[in-house]
């Protein structure tokens, strides 16, 4: 692979913004690619792929470069250099392990980097590039399963879309992409996986609301609510509405959806997406005060609690979470999850149902919260079922969902 200095420099700049300026990786890459119109599709793919891969393998890359920390652009050049040396082996690609003779790469010795790479492979937390505390917490909670889930979480996620049945049907979208370019997903009826990565949000079909980008595992959550057209549904932690839009499709624009969140900008984004999707029965509510919920007690046929969580189930898409997540955050988010479950469950009417969901692989954010809830509220609630997706086994992101019914 021929390396272009401008593209490596852009990757270095992206890494600097992510690790030194503490900015979110997906935003950094998106803005960088927007800012330079003259880059072609291959250039864009190089920058995006290498930025994400270096973030994903950050601990391993630092180890192979013999560096503990990185502060300056010069440090990130060294790390990018080490990555480009190990990349062919690590990603199993037939490429050169030799760097161009650029001054920025001076002092990097491929042999030393590869020796360190081979040495790193014996230690899981370095080889699989994960902080000590996450490795310990997940190993303690998941036991032997952690090994394979961690390896799967370090693979690039496929591009998955959900066909929006309010606007079109599966066959139409299959024809738009070409049957030879997509895969259907067993057990997830509106999902398609693209065989080759591409920017689908730039297409006419996307602008017309024919589909949304959504992991196939995430597409199991709204149907888990057992929705029938005409019901009144509350999506209490709606964010920008990935699952709200799916709920809307299941309601077929009959009945109502109330999407709530504590962040106005997310709800504003949801309203835009809902318009594109042809949703007609949506209202939003900003929760800025506990009293906001008083009038809603006992009103919902269905309630989705897609609670804030560690995001440890979606590391394939957001690998920077590994480095930004802190143990204190995990402790506090578990308390938030419990409060949401404990308080918001009141919104469900008698005979109504609720789904509690996370995008975490950790039982302490998922199964354990539901067990605790059932223990304290078993007179009022029936536990119906729970389901967990496995990144290793299903190839989906790691989601948990539990279905409960109010007596």
Ligand X SMILES: C[S@@+](CC[C@H](N)C(=O)[O-])C[C@H]1O[C@@H](n2cnc3c(N)ncnc32)[C@H](O)[C@@H]1O
Note the residues at the interface with ligand X (CB under 6 A). 236-243, 260-263, 266, 287, 306, 308, 336, 340
- Rounded CA separation 173/40 (Å): 26
User: Can you point out the beta strands (E) in 83-152?
Assistant: none
Least distance (Å) from ligand X to the CB of residue 307? Answer: 6
Q: Which helix H or strand E contains 192, and what residues bound it?
A: strand 188-194
Residue placing its CB nearer to ligand X in the complex, 303 or 404? 303
Distance from the first to the final alpha carbon of the chain: 63
Least distance (Å) from ligand X to the CB of residue 359? Answer: 6
DSSP 8-state class, residue 258? E
Least distance (Å) from ligand X to the CB of residue 124? Answer: 28
Answer for the pair 194, 269: CB distance below 8 angstroms, yes or no. Answer: no
**3-state class of 16 per DSSP?**
helix
Answer for the pair 139, 132: CB distance below 8 angstroms, yes or no. Answer: no
Q: Which helix H or strand E contains 393, and what residues bound it?
A: helix 391-394
Residue placing its CB nearer to ligand X in the complex, 9 or 287? 287
**Beta partners for 129?**
none
359 is catalytic: yes
Positive or negative: CA dihedral 179, 181, 186, 192 = negative
User: Can you point out the beta strands (E) in 13-150?
Assistant: none
The alpha helices in 128-191, defined as continuous H runs, are: 132-142, 145-153, 170-177
Least distance (Å) from ligand X to the CB of residue 337? Answer: 9
* Max Cα–Cα distance, the chain, nearest Å: 72
The β-bridge relationship of strands 160-163 and 188-194 is antiparallel
**Beta partners for 403?**
355, 385
Least distance (Å) from ligand X to the CB of residue 358? Answer: 7
Residue placing its CB nearer to ligand X in the complex, 266 or 317? 266
Residue set of the binding site for S-adenosyl-L-methionine: 261, 288, 306
Instruction: Using alpha carbons, select from 332, 235, 211, 223 the residue that is nearest to residue 287.
Output: 235
Least distance (Å) from ligand X to the CB of residue 295? Answer: 16
Least distance (Å) from ligand X to the CB of residue 238? Answer: 5
Residue placing its CB nearer to ligand X in the complex, 193 or 236? 236
Instruction: Give Cα separations from 158 to 211, 257, 364, 395 (angstroms).
Output: 16, 30, 27, 9
- Rounded CA separation 246/306 (Å): 13
Out of 222, 250, 359, 404, which one is annotated catalytic?
359
- Rounded CA separation 166/384 (Å): 29
Answer for the pair 317, 349: CB distance below 8 angstroms, yes or no. Answer: no
Active site amino acids: 359
């Amino acid at each position: 692979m021929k390396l272009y200095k401008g593209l490596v420099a852009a990757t270095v700049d992206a890494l600097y913004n992510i690790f030194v300026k503490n900015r979110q990786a997906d935003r950094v890459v998106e803005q960088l690619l927007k800012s330079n119109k003259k880059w072609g599709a291959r250039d864009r793919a190089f920058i995006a792929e290498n930025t994400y891969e270096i973030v994903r393998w950050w601990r391993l890359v630092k180890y192979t470069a013999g560096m503990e920390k990185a502060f300056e652009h010069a440090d990130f050049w060294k790390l990018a250099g080490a990555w480009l040396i190990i990349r062919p082996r690590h990603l199993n690609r037939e490429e050169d392990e030799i760097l161009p003779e650029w001054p920025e790469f001076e002092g990097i010795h491929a042999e030393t980097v590869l020796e360190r790479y081979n040495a790193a492979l014996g230690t899981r937390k370095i080889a699989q590039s994960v902080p000590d505390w996450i490795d310990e917490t997940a190993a303690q909670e998941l036991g032997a399963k952690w090994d394979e889930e961690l390896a799967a979480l370090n693979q690039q996620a496929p591009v998955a879309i959900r066909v929006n049945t309010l606007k079109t049907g599966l066959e139409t979208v299959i024809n738009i992409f070409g049957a030879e370019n997509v895969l259907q997903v067993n057990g997830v009826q509106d999902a398609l996986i693209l065989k080759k990565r591409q920017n689908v949000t730039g297409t006419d079909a996307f602008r017309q609301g024919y589909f949304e980008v959504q992991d196939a595992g995430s597409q199991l959550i709204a149907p888990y609510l057992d929705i029938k057209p005409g019901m009144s549904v509350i999506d209490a932690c709606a964010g920008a509405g990935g699952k709200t839009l799916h709920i809307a499709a299941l309601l077929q624009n009959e009945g109502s959806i109330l999407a709530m969140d504590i962040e106005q900008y997310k709800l504003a984004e949801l309203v835009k997406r809902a318009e594109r999707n042809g949703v007609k029965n949506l209202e939003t509510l900003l929760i800025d005060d506990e009293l906001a919920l008083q009038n809603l007690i006992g009103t919902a046929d269905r309630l989705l609690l897609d609670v804030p969580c560690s995001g440890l189930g979606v590391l394939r898409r957001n690998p920077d979470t590994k480095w930004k997540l802190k143990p204190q955050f995990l402790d506090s988010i578990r308390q938030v999850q419990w409060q949401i479950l404990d308080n918001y469950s009141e919104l469900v009417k008698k005979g109504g149902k609720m789904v509690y969901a996370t995008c975490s692989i950790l039982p302490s954010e998922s199964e354990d919260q539901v067990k605790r809830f059932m223990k304290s509220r078993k007179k009022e609630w029936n536990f119906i079922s729970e389901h967990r997706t496995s990144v290793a086994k299903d190839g989906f992101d790691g989601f948990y969902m539990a279905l409960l019914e109010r007596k």
